[in-house]
Structure 1
Amino acid sequence: MRPWRLLPTPTGTPFTFAYAVVLTVTSLIAVYADPALVHALHQGSSTDVAHLVHTPLTVLLASGLWTAGGILAPYTICFLLVLTALERRIGGARTAVVFLLGHVLATLATEVPVGLAVLAGHLPDSSLHRLDYGVSFGVATSIGALTGLLRPWLRWPVLALFGSLLVQDLLGLADPLTDWGHLIALVIGVGLWPLVRRWRTASAH
């Protein structure tokens, strides 16, 4: 195994490489730009219910341009390693589909119930404006999808380890909505196993 193949390259994994460049730029903006501007950008990119109602496509795309926690955050590192591995197996366009499906579906699965709960009077109106952005849902889906392409001796330990970490986060009750989103995203990725396996077979020919 050549160690450098673990990281994205412009020719080998163009989608992951280009996306990583974008995340690096936005992470630098988050660190060095005026805090008020950064807050405004994060607010404008948030996939909360209010934004999803008025500008769904804009915020679903914009929210994936930021990394919560910075460039060295665990999900950012997982982004580099997991999407690189996935793209080397199924190609850039298909990796983008996996990532986007997880990002969009997990977001809707967590935010739509919030909107319905507010309409029913079970949550305050302030719940419509929670700050929600980042690549973690797409990364969790990509991890789930990638495990379907690994050998069983590696697939099940990786899946069990990541799943247990997500459950631990959920039980900690620090951010239940996001934590549920991560679990949902992982399940979405596992559900994509038949598709990504067909894609890998097609890519091998």
Structure 2
Amino acid sequence: MERADALGDVTPGPPACADVPVADGVRLLDGLPRQRGPAEAVTAQTVTAQTVTAQTVTAQTVTARPVTAQGAAPGRRWVVRPWRLLPSPTGTPFTCAFAAVLLVTSFVSEHADPALVHTLHQGSSTDVAHLVRTPVLVLVASALWVVGGVTSPYAVVLLFVLTALERRIGGPRTAGVFALGHVLATLATEVPVGLAVLVGALPASSAYRLDYGISFGVAASVGALAGLLRPWLGWPMLVVFGGALIRDLVEYADPLTNWGHVVALAIGVALWPWVRRARRTGESRKVTARLQRSR
């Protein structure tokens, strides 16, 4: 606030107390600021009211801030909830439904007639011959079988990885990650086989190679999940899983499938920007819904 000007004229000799001018009950002394006029008084009152209002708003903001940011307080304690590692019908519906389907197909594989099981596997195979005739059908059906049953390593990894992924980015996006890895890795391995058969580099029987299972989708899901975890957990998981795939590739037991696993893992890693953006979007929606419920 600007300060008022001091009186410029000084009367010779000190005036008597009775001769000192009086304004609004306050004596005017030489060398002291004069009293404000009516307009200046209004201005001062306005500035004072604005200052008080600003102080009130600031106090209200400071008071409300801990309530608004309570969930993001720096001293927040982390609560260990091990049951969230497993799927639930309400929290991870896609993982629960997919696991139920795999349980059924695994039961059929173990207890049905072997000839029937072979026919079902052959009809679900993503070999070159089936990809040419019924690509959509075999790409979907081949992901409904577990090689080795529900006790195989890939089945166990699928249960925990899809659960963790779905809790972070939701069921539809988790299904998208799995499907993208399954489809692209399958095409990346089978298309070269088809081209090699066409040019005569491979025999015609290679076009009927049996190929089914969930491993490509699991590898892509592991790669995507590694980008959502904290570095001290995500990078070791990626190194351990990738190292196992490289070891299988070096052993050269099934090079086509092993290359597909490496390709699927790389696809999952390439999805890091997308899954991270999806997680931020999901967290923002949860915060908005929580604020709306609290109103």
For 1:17 and 1:127, the matched residues in 2 are separated by 36
Residue 154 of structure 1 and its aligned partner are, at CA, apart by 1.2
For 1:3 and 1:150, the matched residues in 2 are separated by 16
Residue 201 of structure 1 and its aligned partner are, at CA, apart by 0.2
Pairs within 5 Å for 1:1-205: 1-205=80-284
Residue 156 of structure 1 and its aligned partner are, at CA, apart by 1.3
One-letter amino acid of the counterpart of residue 142, structure 2: S
Residue 125 of structure 1 and its aligned partner are, at CA, apart by 0.4
For 2:114 and 2:242, the matched residues in 1 are separated by 34
For 2:81 and 2:144, the matched residues in 1 are separated by 29
Q: What is the SS of the residue equivalent to 1:8?
A: coil
**What is the TM-score when the length of structure 2 is the normalising length?**
0.69
Residues 11-62 of structure 1 deviation map (CA, whole Å, 9 limit, x = unaligned): 1100000000000000000000000000000000000000000000000000
One-letter amino acid of the counterpart of residue 268, structure 2: G
- Per the alignment, residue 18 of structure 2 pairs with none
Q: Could you list the runs of 5+ residues in structure 2 that have no partner in the other structure? A: 1-79, 285-295
One-letter amino acid of the counterpart of residue 187, structure 2: L
For 1:87 and 1:49, the matched residues in 2 are separated by 32
Task: Looking at secondary structure, tell me which structure has more helix per residue.
Answer: 1
For 1:116 and 1:197, the matched residues in 2 are separated by 37
One-letter amino acid of the counterpart of residue 90, structure 2: T
Larger-gyration structure (1/2): 2
For 1:74 and 1:3, the matched residues in 2 are separated by 20
Counting matched residue pairs gives 205
Q: Which has the higher contact order (CA 8 A, sep 6+)?
A: 1
For 1:4 and 1:30, the matched residues in 2 are separated by 30
For 1:135 and 1:3, the matched residues in 2 are separated by 25
For 2:281 and 2:101, the matched residues in 1 are separated by 29
For 2:115 and 2:200, the matched residues in 1 are separated by 32
Q: Could you list the runs of 5+ residues in structure 1 that have no partner in the other structure? A: none
**What is the TM-score when the length of structure 1 is the normalising length?**
0.99
Residue 195 of structure 1 and its aligned partner are, at CA, apart by 0.1
One-letter amino acid of the counterpart of residue 193, structure 1: W
Residue 155 of structure 1 and its aligned partner are, at CA, apart by 1.5
For 2:82 and 2:120, the matched residues in 1 are separated by 36
Residue 2 of structure 1 and its aligned partner are, at CA, apart by 1.7
